Amino acid sequence: MNLQDLKQKFGIIGNDALLERAIDIARQVAPTDLNVLINGESGTGKEVFPQIIHQNSARKHGSYIAVNCGAIPEGTIDSELFGHEKGAFTGATEARKGYFEVANGGTIFLDEVGELPLATQSRLLRVLESGEYLRVGSSKVLKTDVRVVAATNINFYQALEKEKFRTDLYYRLNTVPIYLPPLRERQGDIHLLFRKFANDFSAKYRMPVVKLMTEAEQVLKNYFWPGNIRQLKNIAEQISIIEKSREISGEALLKYLPQFSSSNVPSIVNGGSQAFDSNDRELIFKVIRDLRNELNEVKKVMFDLVTNVPSTNGVHQNSDKVQIINHGYNNENISANGSLALHPLVVNGTTTTTPTQTIEVEETLSLQDKEIDMIRKALKKHKGKRKNAAKELGISERTLYRKINEFNIEE
């Protein structure tokens, strides 16, 4: 079966190269009995790929069981997977088969396998290596012939480093890895998916199909999509029901994207995550511009001082003999009017302000310190009126409120 047929059969929407690569790997590995590990963020559609593998394998007539490992309590996970004997624990009134016994000859999909307790991981490793396992409360070794396809959204390298996941189990599961890209890496597919969901909900709720204007399409592409396809589907359903207009503008779409209305979520620039929203960036740029201007002024003051300071005998010092290391300035050496206050030096018993040695001028380049300083100056200039201070700084009043609270600025 070719890629297009697989897409159509399993309802996969998109033409992204990474997505098609994942489908192709699943198609090629299906006829084998190799273990497969699917890695991808939550909401990327990992649950479809074990079905592709199972239904294109020799086990397609056997059982297919999907197990969400993260949804089963730690105290019962062993019983669910491997079964238990009567009286094995409180409430075990009869013997019960586990999923590995029921799925003998078929396929088990272990979703969120990274959530398994370490003790259960040891049991799973034994099944993968030898096909042997024990029911809870039993000493009789049972055998099973099951293919395991696992999936997770955790960072396995961090889990291995923190010893939350067994290294030997990881390599046993990861015989063939399949990576599912997040939605933000499939920008060309986002509008296709939205249009598919919009058509589905139009038929479901018997109302006209919503269509996105050009600016709204761009908003969709630039959004971070932390919930991936699942989030996109939810938003398409909300818009289909709530919006009266069937043509959705970018402004209307923004109301349904939490990231654009929350200062606690990173904004998106060219598809990447940044630590500042647009108002923060404007303030930072303003700080940098002012800092550059101040540095230029300091350079000019220093040049004038060096070239025009008189010596002890009334003759101007030769500026070529004085070395200045310009690292900016230190606030302790700058007077209120911006001039440099040189500390008196004693040369041959005579007090002079002539710099007879290397002058090092230090300055804090902390953007946060400069930001706090500018906010304080703006508040002082406008006598504590935040609205006017925010306008002076070129940021929104909401951002100014947040900055005051964040930096504990006293007004």
**pLDDT tens-digit profile of 212-221?**
999 999 999 9
d(CA 411, CA 383): 9
Residue whose entry in the numeric block shows the structure tokens 């929203």 = 277
Looking at this protein, which amino acid is placed at residue 253?
Answer: L
Q: Are 211 and 248 in contact (CB under 8 A)?
A: yes
- Name which residue leads in pLDDT, 15 or 351: 15
pLDDT of residue 92: 86
Convert 239-255 to b/e letters by CB count within 10 Å (16 or more is b): bbeebeeeebeeebbee
pLDDT of residue 89: 87
Q: What is the pLDDT of residues 313-346, one digit of tens each?
A: 444 444 444 444 444 444 444 444 444 444 444 4
pLDDT of residue 319: 42
Q: What is the pLDDT of residues 97-142, one digit of tens each?
A: 999 999 999 999 999 999 999 999 999 999 999 999 999 999 999 9
Q: What is the pLDDT of residues 104-114, one digit of tens each?
A: 999 999 999 99
Domains and CATH numbers, the chain: 3-181 (3.40.50.300), 185-272 (1.10.8.60), 280-361 (no CATH), 366-407 (1.10.10)
Nearest to 20 by CA among 181, 153, 175: 181
When the pLDDT of each residue in the chain is averaged and rounded to a whole number, the result is 81
pLDDT of residue 208: 95
pLDDT of residue 356: 44
Cα radius of gyration rounded to whole Å, the chain: 33
d(CA 150, CA 284): 45
Report field, pTM of the whole predicted structure over 0.75? no
Q: Are strands 176-179 and 36-39 parallel, antiparallel or unpaired?
A: parallel
Q: Are strands 211-212 and 176-179 parallel, antiparallel or unpaired?
A: unpaired
Q: How confident is the model at residue 58 (pLDDT cuts 50, 70, 90)?
A: very high
Phi, psi of 11 (to 5 degrees): 65, 35
- Name which residue leads in pLDDT, 312 or 58: 58
pLDDT of residue 395: 81
Phi, psi of 237 (to 5 degrees): -70, -45
Nearest to 92 by CA among 109, 80, 105, 110: 80
